[in-house]
Amino acid sequence: MNIIVHDLNEIDINNFIVMNSNDINYCKGCFSCWTYSPMKCILNDKCNNSCRYFLNAEKIVIVSKCIHGSFSSKVKKILERNIGYVMPYVTIRNKEIHHKMRNNNKPNLIVIFYGDISDSDKEISKRLIERNKLNFNYNNTIIYYLKSEEEVRSKLNDIIY
């Protein structure tokens, strides 16, 4: 299973679960997806069972406008709603504290940032993705920096096909 999380206008890609922020509520921070109903959000929208996608993904592709070296609010909205795919408990990996994983899956992560991205924003984003890799137990990570949505769509075709 492969996932694309994005902030673009609609895209349709075969063999991928495509997630954008349309019709998705913001996380309420209630932690029900960790405690009351593990991996199931209490908010009733198209994101309430999506933690299972992340739990079993082989590849996660994140497409986001780069905002101060981080993801756009639209992408963060989706990622925050899927935090339940890791445990609320912590463990020590590489002499650091990280979330305990629900399984041994180690998906590959591809991040495509687009927009007018400064060198300092690139450095911040590289650090962010490296920390995400450690905390969410990703296998390999690749980051692309592109200028426009057209370049993103072309890169997505290269990645997917």
CATH of the domain at 27: 3.40.50
pTM of the predicted structure, to 2 decimals: 0.92
Number of folded domains that form the chain: 1
| Cα(127)–Cα(89) distance, integer angstroms | 23
At 12-70, the pLDDT tens digits run 777 778 888 888 899 999 999 988 889 999 999 988 889 999 999 999 999 999 999 99
DSSP letters spanning 99-147: EEESSS---EEEEEEESS--HHHHHHHHHHHHHHHHHHT-S-EEEEEES
Helices (DSSP H) in 11-118: which residue ranges? 51-56, 73-81
At 106-153, the pLDDT tens digits run 999 999 999 999 999 999 999 999 999 988 889 999 999 999 999 999
Domain residues for 76? 2-160
Q: How many CB atoms lie within 10 A of CB 19?
A: 23
